[in-house]
Amino acid sequence: MESNNNIISLKGINKVYRTKTVETQALEDINLDVADGEIISIMGPSGCGKSTLLNIIGLLDTPTSGTIELCGQPVERLSDKQLAAMRNKTLGFVFQSFHLISSLNVLDNVMLPLMYGHHSGDRKALAREALEKVGLSNRIHHMPSQLSGGQAQRVAIARAIVGDPKIILADEPCGNLDSRMGAEIMSLLHSLNRDDHRTIVMVTHNEEQARDTDRILHFFDGRQVL
């Protein structure tokens, strides 16, 4: 059980990128708690640190200083293998550009995360179940080139949830979609939050979509602002 019901807890997170001549502070003293079952939005201008923060929560990048807990588990002392296992078990990722593999059909794309973890059960059955949840059970043999943008993002969401993660991290999930398709994807994310009790942290530039989430966090120049 997470302390204080927080499934994500960041304390004093700083991220500095250094070269021989330049030092860039991407994040500065970020403190963030996300309750189990919340859906929150992160907003701010390009380059303000939103995606860096999402990558740190997703264990794809490490902070220069500060502490991270996911599901009550401190991650600083975990080995690379342990981090990979936690990422595979706990986190699902949805990106603006879908990141589907063009040479694989829909079913095989969704099955991919199951190849890297110790998931019990029939992988094809789990992938079919995830695709049914996003309304694409009739597209399992299609190739990514045969899908609309909205369908491709639904496949990406099915891939994100196939391993039954507690947390979904979505980086501009509607950024490449028109308003109608974007609304459909947001409705799907809300249903995953409401019906499956998945915690969702979403980066977005869309104020209307952000207002429909539980909280909006605003960032500017690597800092969280009111």
Matching residue, tokens 């952000």:
210
The C-alpha atoms of residue 50 and residue 219 are separated, in whole angstroms, by 7
Residue 192 is predicted with a pLDDT of 95
Residue 116 is predicted with a pLDDT of 74
- Copy the structure tokens of residue 99: 């990141």
Exposure b/e, 67-102, CB count within 10 A at least 16 = b: ebbbbeeebeeeeeeeeeebbbebbbbbbbebebee
The C-alpha atoms of residue 62 and residue 53 are separated, in whole angstroms, by 10
pLDDT at 119 over 90: no
Among the listed ranges 62-71, 117-126, 164-173, which one has the minimum average pLDDT value?
Answer: 117-126
CA distances from 204 to 32, 43, 106, 125, 213 (A): 18, 6, 26, 32, 11
Say what percent of the chain tops pLDDT 90: 86
Neighbours of 220 (CB within 10 A): 13
pLDDT at 68 over 90: yes
Q: Is 193 helix (H, G, I), strand (E, B) or coil?
A: helix
Q: In angstroms, what is the C-alpha Rg of the chain?
A: 17
Matching residue, tokens 């059960």:
121
Average pLDDT over residues 185-210: 95
The C-alpha atoms of residue 128 and residue 7 are separated, in whole angstroms, by 28
Residue 195 near residue 35, CB atoms below 8 Å = no
